[in-house]
Amino acid sequence: MIILGLDISTSITGATVLDKEGNTLLCESWDTRNKNKFPLLFHKAQFIRKNLFGLQYPITKVYIEQPFTFFNSGGSTAKTMATLQRFNGIISWICYNDLNMIPEYITATQARKLCDLKVPRGTKAKEVALQFFLDNGNEIEYTKHGNPRPGSYDRADSWVIAKAGCRLWKEGLRS
């Protein structure tokens, strides 16, 4: 069993590959923010597709972070949410059609719960997930100002999704 966890975004997509024991085989981010290189959503999807085909592992399960479907204060606009949903659908179709796998979806909240990751009230979940990622032996690069480099949060989120998927699979909670 080789698990792929994806944190899909139109800017940076996180991808993690785990073996059946939950060991990390690969954890990276795929940057599609360059508007000259990726002027259309389809160009971004084509780039993600090429990276998926470039994975050197026989993926047997795909878990994808389910995008938000509700509004919260200070959150995304309807247009942004619609674009993310559309992009998530395109990447899901690529997984189904090209990798011959039906992806399973896990919300960020479900994934954190499955990983026994607690987010204290008033704390940003992304920060807590990144610290959890680091506390579990993963490494990231920092900017000259000491901030995590772009893609770090996406890698951490995809890792949490993959870990949650691994636990679901081990416990037989999903196919």
Is 31 inside a domain boundary? yes
Note the pLDDT tens digit of each residue in 128-172. Answer: 999 999 999 999 999 999 999 999 999 999 999 999 999 999 887
Q: Which amino acid is at 33?
A: R
Indicate the pTM of the whole model.
0.91
The more confidently predicted of residues 123 and 15 is 15
CA distance 57 to 150: 25
Is 89 inside a domain boundary? yes
CATH number of the domain that 62 lies in?
A: 3.30.420.10
Place 79 in a pLDDT band, splitting at 50, 70 and 90.
confident
Helices (H), the chain: 41-54, 78-97, 108-114, 125-135, 152-170
Q: What residues make up the domain containing 100? A: 2-170
The more confidently predicted of residues 63 and 73 is 63
Rounded mean pLDDT of the chain? 91
Is 90 inside a domain boundary? yes
Is 163 inside a domain boundary? yes
Model pLDDT, residue 75: 56
The percent of residues in the chain predicted with pLDDT above 90, rounded, is 81
Is 42 inside a domain boundary? yes
Model pLDDT, residue 65: 95
Least Cα distance to 16 among 174, 171, 166 occurs for 166
Is 175 inside a domain boundary? no
Is 127 inside a domain boundary? yes
Is 38 inside a domain boundary? yes
Model pLDDT, residue 153: 96
Task: Report how many domains make up the chain.
Answer: 1
